[in-house]
Chain A
Amino acid sequence: MTRSTRTTRKTAAALAAAALTAMTLAGCGSGDGPGAAAPAGSAADLDAALEEGGELTYWTWTPSGEAQAEAFMEEYPNVTVTVVNAGTATEEYTKLQNAIKAGSGAPDVAQIEYYALQQFVLSESLLDLSGYGFGDLEDTYTASTWSAVTGGDAIYGLPQDSGPMVLLYNQEIFDQFGLAVPTTWDEYVAAGEKLHAADPTKYITNDAGDPGFAQPLIWQAGGRPYQTDGTTVTVNLQDEGTKLWADTWNQLLEPGLLADIPTWSDDWWKALSDGTVATIVSGAWMPGIMEGSVPDGAGKWRVAPLPSYDGSAITAENGGSAQSVIKQSENPALAAAFLRWLNSSEESVNVFLENGGFPSTTAQLNSPEFLAEAPEYFGGQQINQVLVDASKNVATGWQYLPYQVYANSVFPDTVGTAYTASSDLNAGLQAWQEQIVSYGDSQGFSVNK
C-alpha cells in the first residue's frame, strides 16, 4: 500500500467517476428544473406504507447502518431492509451515478455527503420529500445541516450527522514541548514553528492536499467561492476569505511545517498513534473514530475549539452525510417512511450514537447526558460541550458546486501541485478555478458569465 499505488487507484477511480458523471450531467440544464415534481403525498401515506410493508435497499457505509436497519425491522416487521455497503463516499457516488444512468439497480435510500448532494439534486436523481410533510422536521436538526439538505422549498434528504470543526491536540506532545492551545491561526502557526524547530520529526499537523479539508477552512475564513442559481454558477477562488485561508496556510506549507502525509492513509493512522502529528483539525465526528481506531492515543488527546482569525468562536462544517430517497425507488412512500425513522427517531439516533457518531439532531446534542459524557480516552474531558458549542457557531451562507464531486477529483492536479512543491496555494487555487470553470461550461452550466 505505497503512496504511488494509492495515487494510481485514486486516479483510476476519478477517471471512472469523471467519465460517468459527465454523461449523467450532460442531460441536465434542460427540461424541468430540479424539484419540479414534488410527489403528491402526505405524512399519512408514510404510516400506511409502513403498515403495508415491502422491501427496501439502503446503501450506506455508516458503521451503525446494519444495526439501525435491524432495529427498524423489529419495530416494523412487515418491512425488509437490505443494507448494502456499496463503497465509501466517491466510490459509492460513482456506483450510484452508474445505476441511475443504467436506469435500474439504484437503492431506495442512499447515504450522500452534504458536499455531493447538489450534484444528485441537479441530475434530478433525488425525491423531493416536502410532499410527505418533512418540512415539519426542520426544528429537529441544527440549522447548518438542515440548510445543507434543502433548496428553496424542496427537501432532498434528512441529515444523519454533522461535523462542526474542532481542534484535536495531543496533550502529551503539547506538555513536552511547552505549547499552549492556540486560539487563533497566528498562534497555531507559531506553535507549528516552535514544535518543528524543537523536534524536526514532529509536525503541528499533516496536510498533503485534501479538498474535503481545505474547503471547510475556506468556509471558516469567510470565503464563499461558489454561488449557484439554477444553472448559473459563479466561482471565485480568490475572494477575500479564500485568500485569507491560503495566505495563512502558506505560512505552514512553504517552510515545510506540514507533514506530507495524506489524511486517512495508513501512514496517517500511524502518525496519530506515534505522535508525529500534534493536532488534527477535523469534524466533531473525529473523536469517536479516534476512540475506536487509535487505541495508542488513549489518554493523550484533548479537544478544543477551532482556532479562528480574530479569536472568535466561528467554525465550519467538515463532512457529514444525509440520507436521500432515490427517484428510481419503486416504493417512495415506504422509502421516505424508513428515512424519517432512520434520521429522526430517538431509537435510531441512539444506535448511531452508540457507534461513536456525532448527531445532527438538536434533541441529542442538547441532552444533559450527552453533554456530561467524559470519555476516559480524552482524559475525562467533557468533550461534547466543546463539540456542541462548535455546532452552534457554524458560519452561514456556504454553498458547494453543483458538480463538487468532479471538482474535488481535480483538486490534486491543481492545488495539489502547490502542496507537492510547497509553493503558493493561491496559484494552485487559480489553476483549480480554471478547471472548474471549463468543466462547468462543458456540462451546460453558465460559469462566471
Chain B
Amino acid sequence: MAINRRIHPAARRGISVTRPRKSVAMTLLAALFLVYALVPIAWLVINSTKTQPDLFSTFGFSFGHSFALWDNVVATFTYDDGIFVRWLGNTLLYVGLGAGGATLLATLAGYGLAKFRFPGRSAYFAVVLGAVAVPGTALAVPTFLLFSQLGMTNTPWAIIVPSLISPFGLYLIWVYTVDSVPTELLEAARLDGAGELRTFFTISIRLLAPGIVTVALFAIVATWNNYFLPLIMLSDPDWYPLTVGLNQWSEQAAGVGAEPIFNLVVTGSLITIVPIVAIFLFLQRFWQSGLSAGSVKQ
C-alpha cells in the first residue's frame, strides 16, 4: 500500500483512514458475523445453567425451570474424583511447554533465517513453506507410529514434542524480522562489540515482541484446541487434555451402561473456553499489530 501524496478525492470529502465512510451493507454483514459467532456462546452460557432434565425438556435459548449453574460448576470439578481438574492441569501443561516451546523455537529459527546468510537457506525456506501447507491432522497417524516405535505413546511427551513444531510461526517471525529489525541496527551492535546472542536478547527480541505474541497466540490456541493427536496418542484418561476429556464425557451417553452427563459436558465446555477468551482479550492489541506485519512497505 503506497501512500499517495496527492490528496485523494475521498479525503477532500472528509473521509480518511481514521474516519472511514460508513457502509450500511458492511455494517449489516459484520453484525451478521457477530451474531453467528455469539449465538453458540449464548447457547453455552444459557444451557450451563440447566440441570440435565431441563436440558432435555426446555427450549435451547431460554432458561430452564431451575438455575443450576453453580451446582453444575461444582459437579464438573468434582465428578469422578475431580478428573476435570486433572484435565485442566494437563491442558495447561501442554500449552505451557508445547506452545511456549514452539514460540521460542519459531522465534529463534525465524530470526536466524531472516538475518543470517548460510548455505542451504533457500532449501530450508522451501521446506518450511511446504510444511505450512500440511495440516497437523494429516501427520497425526504417522506421528503416532513414530512415537509408538520410540515407546513414547501414552506419555505427555507424545503431545508436547509434536506441539513444539510450528512452521507457520517460524514463517511469520521470519517475515516480521525482515521488516522490523533493521540490519543496520544489528551491524551497529556488532561494531559496538555485542555478541550475536546478546544482540538478539537485548535488541531484536524487543523489536519482535508483537510478532512473538502473535506466534504465541497461534500456538496457544492450537495447543489448547488440540484434539486429534491426544485422542490417538493417549489411552490413560489421567493424561487427557480438556478436549479429549470432554469428548469422553459426551461419549458416555452412548451404548450399554450409558450414563449421560450432558449438563457437565456443557458446563465443562464453558469453563474450557473462558481462559482462551481471557487470553485473547488480554493480548489482542499485540495480535492486531502483529497481523499487519509486512503489509506496509517502509
Interface: A101 (CB within 8 A): yes
Tally the A-B contacts, defined by beta carbons under 8 Å: 122
Do residues A293 and B254 form an inter-chain contact, with CB atoms below 8 A? no
Contact call A289/B141, Cβ cutoff below 8 A: no
Which residues of A, 108-165, contact B by the 8 Å Cβ criterion?
A: 113, 161, 163
Q: Does A61 contact B (CB under 8 A)?
A: yes
Contacts of B250 in A (CB 8 A): 1
Q: How far is the CA of A349 from the CA of B34 in the complex (A)?
A: 54
Within 8 Å CB of B154, what residues of A? 99, 102, 105
Which residues from chain A contact B151 at a C-beta distance below 8 Å? 102-104
User: By the criterion CB–CB under 8 Å, are B237 and A292 in contact?
Assistant: no
Q: Among B148, B254, B262, which residue has its beta carbon within 8 angstroms of that of A101? A: B148
Is the Cβ of B262 less than 8 Å from the Cβ of A320? no
Tell me, rounded to whole Å, the shortest Cβ–Cβ distance linking B135 to chain A: 12
Q: Which residues of B contact A265 (CB under 8 A)?
A: 253
Please determine whether A296 and B258 come into contact, CB atoms closer than 8 angstroms: no
Is B257 a contact partner of A273 (Cβ separation < 8 A)? Answer: no
State whether A88 touches B232 (Cβ < 8 A): no
Contacting B251 at CB < 8 Å: which of A88, A99, A113, A319? A88
B258 and A94 form a contact (CB under 8 A): no
Contact among A20, A86, A161 for B237, CB-based, below 8 A: A86
User: Which of B232, B236, B257 is close to A84, meaning CB atoms less than 8 Å apart?
Assistant: B236
> How distant is A254 from chain B, measured CB to nearest CB, in Å?
27
The answer, yes or no, to whether A13 is at the interface (CB within 8 Å) is: yes
Report whether B56 and A16 are in contact in the complex, using a CB–CB cutoff of 8 Å: no
**What mask results when residues 365 to 409 of chain A are scored 1 for a CB within 8 Å of chain B, else 0?**
000000000000000000000000000000000000000000000
Among residues 229 to 249 in chain A, which have CB atoms less than 8 Å away from a CB atom of chain B?
Answer: none
Tell me if A205 is interfacial: C-beta within 8 Å of chain B: no
Which residues of A from 59 to 76 have beta carbons under 8 Å from B?
A: 59, 61-63
Contact count band on B: 35 or more
A379 to chain B, nearest CB (A): 19
Is there an interface contact between B144 and A293, defined as CB atoms closer than 8 Å? no
Instruction: Please indicate the chain B residues that have their CB under 8 angstroms from the CB of A283 in the complex.
Output: 256
- Determine the chain B residues whose CB is within 8 A of the CB of A98 once the complex forms: 144, 148, 153, 232, 235
Verify B56–A321 contact, CB threshold 8 A: no
Which residues, 1 to 56 on A, are CB-close (under 8 Å) to B? 1, 9, 12-13, 16, 19-20, 23
**Residues on the B chain within 8 Å of A105, using CB:** 153-154, 235
Q: Chain A's nearest CB lies how many Å from the CB of B145?
A: 8
Min CB gap A359→B, angstroms: 12
Interface residues of B in 238-275 (CB under 8 A from A): 247-248, 250-260, 262, 265-266
Interface pair B254/A269, CB less than 8 Å apart? no
User: Which one of B153, B232, B253 contacts A269 once the chains associate, using CB atoms below 8 Å?
Assistant: B253
State the CA gap A95–B231 with chains docked (Å).
9
Check if A91 is an interface residue, CB within 8 A of chain B.
Answer: yes
Closest B residue, CB atoms, query A290: B258
Judge if A85 is at the interface, Cβ distance under 8 Å.
Answer: yes
Q: Which A residues are CB-close (under 8 A) to B232?
A: 16, 20, 94-95, 98
Candidates A16, A264, A285, A296; contact of B228 at CB < 8 Å: A16
Interface centre among B137, B228, B235 (most CB of A within 10 A): B235
From A16, A265, A285, name the one whose CB has the most chain B CB atoms within 10 angstroms. A16
A431 at interface, CB cutoff 8 A: no
The answer to whether B144 touches A269, judged by C-beta atoms less than 8 angstroms apart, is no
Q: Which of chain B's residues have a CB closer than 8 A to the CB of A274?
A: 56-57
- Are B257 and A285 in contact, with the CB atoms below 8 A? yes
Q: Does A363 contact B (CB under 8 A)?
A: no
Q: Interface size of A by Cβ–Cβ distance < 8 Å?
A: 55
C-alpha spacing A26/B98, complex, angstroms: 34
B140 (CB) vs chain A CBs: closest residue: A16
CB-defined contacts of A161 to chain B, threshold 8 Å: 256-257
- A104: B residues at CB distance < 8 A: 151
A319 touches B256 (CB 8 A): yes
Q: B53, B137, B234, B247: which contacts A273 (Cβ < 8 A)?
A: B53
In the assembled complex, which residues on chain A have CB atoms less than 8 Å from the CB atom of B56?
A: 266, 269-270, 272-274, 294, 296
Give the shortest distance, in Å, between A4 (CB) and chain B (any CB). 12
Within 8 A of A (CB), among B131-181: 137, 140-141, 144-145, 148, 151, 153-154
B residues near A273, Cβ cutoff 8 Å: 53, 56-57
Q: Give Cα A113 to B257, complex, Å.
A: 12
- A residues near B262, Cβ cutoff 8 Å: 1, 266, 269
- Which residue of A is nearest B137, CB measured? A12
Interface residues in B174-232 (C-beta closer than 8 Å to A)? 228, 231-232
B73 contacts the other chain (CB 8 A) = no
Residue of B141, B148, B235 near A103 (CB, 8 A) is: B148
Residues of A in contact with B (beta carbons under 8 Å apart):
1, 9, 12-13, 16, 19-20, 23, 59, 61-63, 84-89, 91, 94-96, 98-99, 101-105, 113, 161, 163, 212, 263-266, 269-270, 272-274, 283, 285, 289, 292-296, 319-321, 355, 357
List 30 A-B residue pairs with CB atoms under 8 Å apart, sorted by A's residue number.
A13-B231, A16-B141, A16-B231, A59-B235, A61-B257, A62-B257, A63-B259, A86-B235, A87-B248, A89-B255, A91-B248, A91-B251, A94-B232, A95-B232, A98-B232, A103-B148, A163-B256, A263-B254, A265-B253, A266-B55, A266-B262, A270-B55, A272-B56, A273-B57, A274-B57, A285-B256, A293-B259, A319-B256, A320-B256, A355-B257
Query: Which residues of B approach A to under 8 Å, CB–CB?
Result: 52-53, 55-57, 137, 140-141, 144-145, 148, 151, 153-154, 228, 231-232, 234-237, 247-248, 250-260, 262, 265-266
The 6 A-B residue pairs whose C-beta atoms are closest, nearest first, are A102-B148, A264-B254, A95-B235, A273-B56, A270-B56, A88-B251
